[in-house]
Amino acid sequence: MANDVSLNRRFLETGDIEAFTLVFKKYYPVVYAHVSRMMRNHPDPAVDADDITSETFAIAFTKREEIREPEKLLAWLLSTARNLAIAEIRNSERRMRHLAIESRDNLSISERDTLFASTLLKTDADQNETNRYLVTQLLRLIPDKDREIVELRLDGLRPREIAQTIGSTVRSVQKRWERLITWLKPVVLNLDALMSCLSDENDRKIMERYLDEQPLSEIAKAIGISRSTVEETVKRVRTQWKKAVKQNSTDPVSAMVKNER
């Protein structure tokens, strides 16, 4: 779905209710489909794709003056919906874990064994969901100019559709996507080990919090450093990991260890 830049600009610059209604009708289906895919393996009735989608547009109306590029409105909507959905999924999982603990405490030993077995059986089925969350974390390692492409690609958009959305060429989108995958895949496979390779304890703390999607200001406050130091650390570590992958894509951990000496 291509952006209607003139409509987007009218909505963002004037806050016109008619324009907002048109924006809502035009983009609601793709945003709703995106949220629904994320909700697919989360049967908790408290997590509702329609509510999340509606909230996304309500936030867009409230913060329209902060969205400065009309051509990126659809990407902004998808990103906001993704963040809201992830937050709701996490809240849901916390609620379910709490209920599971309460229920488990009332079970006999044999019933607890049965529950444990069913949990193990569920693990493989949930592996794809776990991988998706890992990808969501890794999006934090990607610069803003490239993150948009990855998010849209994960939403199922084809290179041509992405090119139309961000105002680029299909070839440029494809090349940027391939370049990102080249260094991100080894990081995905070795993330824990690469994190352990960071010799500075503060670096590890910063990256752990950053990948857990904590705001930069919160990280700075928790560790007792400046926000600019957090930003510099993230950029430096990202550069170190990219360098390690470039040196040895099959074993970036060894390259990282060598570089840290």
Q: What's the CA gap between 195 and 68, in Å, rounded? A: 35
Rounded to the nearest integer, the mean pLDDT of the chain is: 78
Q: Kindly indicate whether the domain formed by 5-125 is annotated with CATH number 1.10.1740.10.
A: yes
Does residue 158 sit in helix, strand or coil?
Answer: coil
Which of 81-85, 95-99, 134-138, 156-160 comes out lowest in average pLDDT? 95-99
User: Regarding predicted confidence, which is higher, 68 or 43?
Assistant: 68
pLDDT number for residue 75: 84
Sequence-distant (6+) residues with CB within 8 A of 88 are: 46, 47, 52
Confidence tier at 47 by pLDDT (50, 70, 90): low
Residue 220 has pLDDT above 90, yes or no: yes
Q: Where are the domains of the chain?
A: 5-125, 181-260
Taking the C-alpha atoms of residue 161 and residue 181, their distance in angstroms, rounded to an integer, is 19
Q: What percent of the chain is predicted at pLDDT more than 70?
A: 76
Q: What mean pLDDT do residues 160-185 have?
A: 85
Whether the pTM exceeds 0.75: the reply is no
Q: Is the predicted pLDDT of residue 188 greater than 90, yes or no?
A: no
Q: Mark out the alpha helices in 40-72 (DSSP H runs).
A: 49-62
- Asked if pLDDT for residue 195 goes beyond 80, the answer is yes
- pLDDT tens for 8-43 read 889 988 888 999 999 999 999 889 888 887 776 555
Q: Predicted confidence band at 241 (pLDDT cuts at 50, 70, 90)?
A: very high
Each residue of 111-165: pLDDT tens digit?
A: 444 443 344 334 333 444 444 555 666 677 887 778 888 778 777 778 888 888 8
Among left, alpha and beta (phi > 0; psi -120 to 50; other), residue 59 is alpha
Beta-carbon contacts of 212 under 8 Å, excluding residues fewer than 6 positions away, are 137
Q: Binning pLDDT at 50, 70 and 90, where does residue 257 land?
A: confident
Structure tokens at 243: 């360098």
